[in-house]
Structure 1
Amino acid sequence: MRNFLILVVFGVILVLSFIISMNTGYTKLSPADTLRTLFGGGTDNENLILFKFRLPRIVVSALVGGGLALSGCIIQGISKNPLADPGLLGINAGAGLMVILYVLFLGSKTMSAVFILPFLALVGAGITAVLIYVLSYKKGEGIVPMRLILTGIAVQSGISALTTVLVIRLDETQFDFVANWQAGSIWGSSWRFVMALLPWLLLLVPYVIYKARVLDVLSMGEDVALSLGVPVERERRRFLAVSVALAASCVSVSGGIGFVGLIAPHMARRLVGSRHTILLPTCALAGAVLVLAADTVARVILQPVELPTGIMVAIIGAPYFLYLLSKSRQ
């Protein structure tokens, strides 16, 4: 009952975050104006502000936060490492590399083909994940969690170096886009990007929730999982593929937002424990609230200039993570 109440509280906080974000921006809309506009009574200007600019970005922020948080939670579960994160393993960097190659060879004007981006990001993230998996695998031992993390860090460094070389070749317009993308700016703030991202989450999230008990068993260790009849390597590969797909699809529309897959699972685990049946939905809601709150603050803190959401996520999440580190030393 306590865990269910925590889940409900996170849901209420997310709804309140939606309401606050709809009423926040360079052009002021009062709560009464927002409510009237939602029910079809707004002026043309109010409809434009709310339905074309704010609501799509709010929805994208929440979906991205939930997806990245679930991706991080899955990786932490299969690697048994609380510091594992799609950004740390280089998965986000691999997805970003494909986006940069797309911009370099096809030009930033082709970004109108938004439905292609998740697939391109998935290819980059998938190749990165396969490379990490192969380099981390040792015959007779399988995947050692610590080796997985260290290999991910090394691969991420290599991808970052290659990305830097490619960025030098970009023209001014392309460079501006890539710079904003790498900083974690929610650049995909239209309903087309919502429709490009939503099918991925509708397909992958139910599967993850359905397989939550298997993730519980994997978290207990390989010996325990094998004794219970779980095909460890096969399930681990499946979960890794789902985590990669979640991270890639989210990163393709949000840019390089990190830290969510690290902080949200920690926060949820401290509140509801490590049972993934309740941990996964709580983690998704926590990630959605984190990114949505960060994006709202980023839009208004230095008006009329907008800060990248990724920077605000780091500002919000870093103190909490440092608190976790200090508690772990005790």
Structure 2
Amino acid sequence: MLFALIVFTTVIGMGWGTASLSYDRLLPTLIGQGSFKEEFILFSIRLPRLLITLLAGMALALSGGVLQSVARNDLADPGMIGINSGAGVAIAVFFLFSPLEVGNFVYAIPFIAFVGALVTASLIYVLAYERRTGLQPIRLILIGVGLSTTLSGAMIILISSAEREKVDFIAKWLAGSVWGVDWPFVWAILPWLLILIPFVWIKSNQLNLLSMDEPVAIGVGLQMNRERLLLLLAAVALAAAATSVTGGIAFVGLMAPHLAKAVIGHRTQLYLPLCLLLGGWLLLVADTIGRNMVAPEGIPAGVIVSMIGAPYFIYLLFKRTNRWGEG
């Protein structure tokens, strides 16, 4: 059903836009029988953007699912705990101070974002870790939120004296505007997913154990620190790859794993495929609606996702608070 929804949303997105493309001309255009205008709209404008949002949504969803298992905290999300902000600061520094245009260095952008996200995640991990009790889930969220706010402020300071054109780009990035909309950006993000999705799948059993209490996981012989570190690196890389082409988008990594678990249960082998499809579909819908809502530039996908995700986050927060109160 989710795969059918993705196909349906993709078809809607291919025809819906400022330069409209008749739906009865989609199939002929796809098989090379369209006019120059139709092929340009479909292959140069619509399809790259649709694929990028789909892949980025999948990456963010999988990153969120891994983080929630590693941190044993349902509120963990790469956008909420500062990982996306760390990637954003690295991209902003590169964009503002590098002599190269971003488009000329497109394949390095995910790596630049990964370095920024990795430094941020390492700092969060160190501050949230205690030698006696291990990683503290609540502290991780609080430190992540605080660091995310600090990094957002640092980014504003960075752009305060920049050129107007570059300031506009960073502002759109902060709002979660999908800016990497050409085929090179698809090829830049795709290898990260082709490597990391199988890696996370191979680590499914370890994720199941990490979601449990530490004594249980240690009792069955799991090397907690090693597995946490490897999976945290995978989550950071996934979030960085998505952030490098879509900007700062939060809540996809929060909602998709929760919805997948609600539908099919908490076993990693079952909910991860559903999580991937849900994340891709959520961002695809948000971007399709956002770019066509207000002409000519539309509303950033990050804003649309936040309108749904923020109330959902508050609901989860109250749910956890009530659970603690009952305990």
Q: Do the structures match in fold with TM over 0.5? A: yes
1:154 Cα deviation from its structure 2 partner? 2.5
Q: CA deviation at 1:158?
A: 2.3
Quote the offset at 1:304 in angstroms: 2.6
After superposition, the Cα gap between the structure-2 partners of 1:215 and 1:190, relative to the gap in structure 1 and judged at 3 Å, is same
Distance 2:158 2:314 in 1: 34
Shift of 1:326: 6.7
2:38 aligned partner:
46
**Equivalent in the alignment of 2:105:** 113
Q: Please say if residues 108 and 177 of structure 1, whose CA atoms lie closer than 8 Å, have aligned partners that are also in contact.
A: no
How many angstroms does 1:183 deviate by?
0.8
SS class of match (2:106): coil
Instruction: Say which is worse superposed, 266-275 or 150-159, in terms of deviation.
Output: 150-159
What residue number does 1:169 align with? 161
Q: CA deviation at 1:111?
A: 3.4
**Which residue is 2:234 aligned to?**
242
Question: What letter is aligned with 1:76?
Answer: Q
Instruction: Identify the residue that residue 75 of structure 2 maps to in structure 1.
Output: 83
Q: Give CA-to-partner distance per residue, 1:41-98, whole Å, 9 cap, x none.
A: 1000000000000000000000000100110111111111111111121100000000
How far apart, in 1, do the equivalents of 2:100 and 2:250 lie? Answer: 23
What percentage of residue pairs aligned between the two structures are identical? 45
The alpha-carbon deviation at position 30 of structure 1 amounts to: 2.1
User: How do residues 1-330 of structure 1 correspond to structure 2 at under 5 angstroms?
Assistant: 9-106=1-98, 109-321=101-313
TM-score in terms of structure 2 length: 0.94
- Distance in structure 2 (CA, Å) of the matches to 1:327 and 1:89: 19
What is the Cα deviation at residue 300 of structure 1?
1.1
* Alignment RMSD: 1.6
Give the secondary-structure state (helix, strand or coil) at the position aligned to 1:123. helix
Tell me the CA shift for residue 155 of structure 1: 2.0
- AA aligned to 1:138 is E
The alignment of Structure 1 onto Structure 2 pairs a total of residues equal to 322
User: Aligned AA for 2:62?
Assistant: L
In 1, Cα distance between equivalents of 2:42 and 2:288: 14
Shift of 1:315: 2.1
Shift of 1:209: 1.1
Paired residues of 1:67 and 1:247 also in contact (CA < 8 A):
yes
Instruction: Give the unaligned 5+ runs of structure 1.
Output: 1-8
SS at structure 2 position matched to 1:29: coil
Length-normalised TM-score, structure 1: 0.93
For 1:288 and 1:276, the matched residues in 2 are separated by 18
- Answer with 110-119 or 246-255: which moved more: 110-119
Query: Deviation digits for residues 280-316 of structure 1, max 9, x if unmatched?
Result: 1111100100000011101211133311111111123
Does structure 2 conserve the Cα–Cα contact (< 8 Å) formed by 1:294 and 1:316?
no
Residues 129 and 327 of structure 1: is their aligned pair in 2 closer, same or farther, counting only changes over 3 Å?
closer
1:196 maps to a residue whose letter is: A
Matches of 1:142 and 1:324 in 2, distance apart?
Answer: 24
| C-alpha displacement of 1:261 | 0.7
Counterpart-to-counterpart distance in 2, 1:99 and 1:327:
36
Look up the equivalent residue of 1:284 and give its one-letter code.
L
Structure 2, unpaired ranges of 5+: none
Q: Does the CA contact (< 8 Å) of 2:75 and 2:313 recur in 1?
A: no
